[in-house]
Amino acid sequence: MDKPIIAIDTRERLPYDFPLSQIKTLKTGDYSIIGLEDRVAVERKTTADAFSSLGRYRSRFRAEVERLSNYGYAAIVVEASIPDLLKPPPFSRMNPKAVINSLLGWSVRYGVNIIFAGDRQYGNAITRTLLEKYWKYYGDEVNDRIS
């Protein structure tokens, strides 16, 4: 198979659009590759998600990042730039620098890549590229199991 079938978690409320995809329940993350769900994961965050995940839901999000750290490749794709994150959502009382520092710190501590995509369109393209590159380098593992 030349291209991966991208797995989209059933709980993903605004899924990205991919040419080859399948909706299924994922243990961790919003996106993966069919057959490699236990090895690669991408978590998507909007600006509002990032603030609530690092504020009110911090312990739950930290547990998710810890799970992501066990994957061969894991990334959190933030649909914002760093300057965007410096302008917090109106509901948030969090210091925006604390949000950015937490994301960067957890990237170092847990080895999970943090990608500031700028917006949803770039987030979609980056997520697709990451998963296609993972497939290019490691997809043979799935093909070998099928053959």
Concatenate the DSSP letters of all residues of the chain into one string.
--SPPEEEETT-SSPPP-SSEEEE--SSSSEEETT-TTTEEEEEE-HHHHHHHHTTTHHHHHHHHHHHTTSSEEEEEESS-HHHHTS--TT--S-HHHHHHHHHHHHHHH--EEEE-SSHHHHHHHHHHHHHHHHHHHTHHHHHHH-
Q: In the chain, which stretches have pLDDT less than 70? A: 1, 142-147
pLDDT value at residue 145 = 56
pLDDT value at residue 141 = 74
pLDDT value at residue 45 = 98
pLDDT value at residue 4 = 95
Q: What is the CATH number of domain 6-142?
A: 3.40.50.10130
pLDDT value at residue 140 = 83
